[in-house]
Amino acid sequence: MLVEIVVYNIDSALKAQEGGADRIELCDNPGEGGTTPSFGTLEAVRQNVNLDLFVMIRPRGGDFNYSNYEFHCMRRDIDQCQKLSADGVVFGILNADGTLDKKRCKELIDRARPMRVTCHRAFDMTRDPFEALEDCIAVGFDRILTSGHQTTASKGTALIAELVKKANGRIAIMPGSGVNEEAVEKIVSETAVNEIHFSAVTYRESAMQYRNQAIAGMGSDEGAEFKYRTVDPDRVRAIRKLAEGAKKM
């Protein structure tokens, strides 16, 4: 069972490695579902982590229908990932009608090689998952990250299982979203996947001793200013063990 951990900072990447992950997906902005991280962060992670390192290529939150300006940013971001020795990139571009933008996806895939390429959960916003599956294969994606067109992978297991069957080894199908200790056995046993994607998130208190009580968080009142998001290595190990157990059943 291959385990990919999504991380949003340097500490999370180090903790994912400590927990025995096989690969990390490096992003920024968890509140928006992940965007392209800074290249300073990418460089620091690459220098200190020996795992396969995939990088999110997403210029903003929101939908996956990008302007020409945004597409140019994606091209340049892929170039920088190559220069900093990333192992792979993760992206997806859609047309307004809900189909995969095959022309622009193929251009980015060709530009990214020899890095490996994952189609992220833009796939879950397509109008027809089986049409999108064939389009992903046609343009050259190596894998699809999907929740089965549902909010969580545990709700989308029936579709994920069908995608695995129809892919028939032509492309990897990797469940993501809501993959945790409670859901992972059901997801793996019902889909026959060989890869899983999850966050194993935990929070620790900020090291700040002085705290302005009038401001809980920059731009919010949720207290985020004094919460530090990271990865729990024990959760990585526990979820892997459950997944591997389910795979043997």
Q: What whole-number distance in Å separates Cα of residue 70 and Cα of residue 59? A: 6
Entry pTM: 0.94
- Phi first, then psi, for residue 150 (nearest 5°) are -125, 175
Angle at 241 between CA 166 and CA 160, to 5 degrees: 20
Confidence of residue 128 (pLDDT cuts 50, 70, 90): very high
Confidence of residue 221 (pLDDT cuts 50, 70, 90): low
Residue 104 pLDDT more than 70? yes
Candidate CATH numbers 3.10.20.30, 3.40.50.11060, 3.20.20.380, 3.40.50.720; the one for domain 2-201+234-248? 3.20.20.380
Residue 78 pLDDT more than 90? yes
Residue 223 pLDDT more than 70? no
- Parallel, antiparallel, or unpaired for β 52-56 and 143-146? unpaired
Domain ranges of the chain: 2-201+234-248
Read off the pLDDT of each residue in 54-65 and give the average, rounded to a whole number. 98
Q: Where are the alpha helices (DSSP H) in 33-178?
A: 39-48, 68-83, 102-112, 129-139, 157-167
Q: What whole-number distance in Å separates Cα of residue 148 and Cα of residue 154? A: 9
Read off the pLDDT of each residue in 43-71 and give the average, rounded to a whole number. 98
Q: Please name which of 170, 166, 105, 117 lies closest in space to residue 145, comparing C-alpha atoms.
A: 117
- Taking CA atoms, 121 is separated from 91, 143, 175, 209, in Å, by 8, 11, 10, 39
Confidence of residue 222 (pLDDT cuts 50, 70, 90): low
Confidence of residue 227 (pLDDT cuts 50, 70, 90): confident
For residue 214, the model assigns a pLDDT of 80
Confidence of residue 237 (pLDDT cuts 50, 70, 90): very high
pLDDT per position as a tens digit, 150-186? 999 999 999 999 999 999 999 999 999 999 999 999 9
